[in-house]
Chains A and B, each alone.
Chain A
Amino acid sequence: GENVEQHPSTLSVQEGDSAVIKCTYSDSASNYFPWYKQELGKGPQLIIDIRSNVGEKKDQRIAVTLNKTAKHFSLHITETQPEDSAVYFCAATGYSTLTFGKGTMLLVSP
């Protein structure tokens, strides 16, 4: 089955800096890669996703890049704000269920 590795496990940045979270996956058949944000006491919330037919997708301050050859994808957050502080999860799937990484705790200091 699919195996998703995510790093770093924690990331501390100053407000206004950029943050990058990286994931690798094992199943070359995977073709859908969402990113979720989870705040304390809440369920994961989808923030952006990318399909295998594109290499990059951007939504305001958030962007995701995908390298299918190397089997890795990354989340980029620019101009970070304190409200970006949360745990971020990457995930991957082919035609079955989502497999999640272990998460990255992002701390944005004012």
Chain B
Amino acid sequence: DTGVSQDPRHKITKRGQNVTFRCDPISEHNRLYWYRQTLGQGPEFLTYFQNEAQLEKSRLLSDRFSAERPKGSFSTLEIQRTEQGDSAMYLCASSSDRVPFYSPLHFGNGTRLTVT
């Protein structure tokens, strides 16, 4: 178990640019989640996948945000035309639906985005 891996760890970009983050979940986990965390707040849900299907999206996920999980393995989160309000830590988590009842989320160490 190598844990959830996120890349890059830090990203600084200018307003209006596009950015893409990658998440590699724990290999046997079929569920993958994206959360956003701003300073002094708890993680806020953005979207989640079961295998390759995107099953739920938060209203926080504007049309500038898109997430994919091709082949049900790694996932990417793209933000187009970044705004300063997009500055945050973007957290990825994974879990398994093969565990009875609710399976805990395992988080990566996040990608910190700064939009200047």
Q: Contact residue range for chain A?
A: 20 to 34
In this assembly, does B28 line the interface, its C-beta being within 8 Å of a C-beta of chain A?
A: no
Whose C-beta in chain A lies nearest to the C-beta of B102? A32
Total residue contacts A-B, CB cutoff 8 A: 51
Q: Measured between C-beta atoms, what is the minimum distance from A45 to chain B in Å?
A: 7
Asked if B91 contacts A43 (CB within 8 A), the reply is yes
A17-55 interface with B by 8 A CB criterion: 31-32, 34, 36, 41-46, 49, 51
Q: How far is the CA of A51 from the CA of B40 in the complex (A)?
A: 27
Contacts of B107 in A (CB 8 A): 36, 43-45
Interface of A is mostly: strand
- Top 3 nearest A-B pairs (CB, nearest first) are A100-B42, A43-B107, A32-B102
A97-B45, A98-B45 known; 15 new pairs, CB 8 Å cut-off, are A34-B104, A36-B107, A43-B108, A43-B110, A44-B43, A44-B107, A51-B102, A89-B42, A89-B43, A91-B42, A97-B48, A98-B105, A99-B45, A100-B44, A102-B40
A sample of 16 cross-chain residue pairs with beta-carbon separation below 8 angstroms, ordered by A number, consists of A31-B102, A34-B105, A42-B109, A42-B110, A43-B107, A43-B108, A45-B107, A46-B104, A46-B105, A97-B56, A98-B43, A100-B44, A101-B42, A102-B40, A102-B41, A102-B42
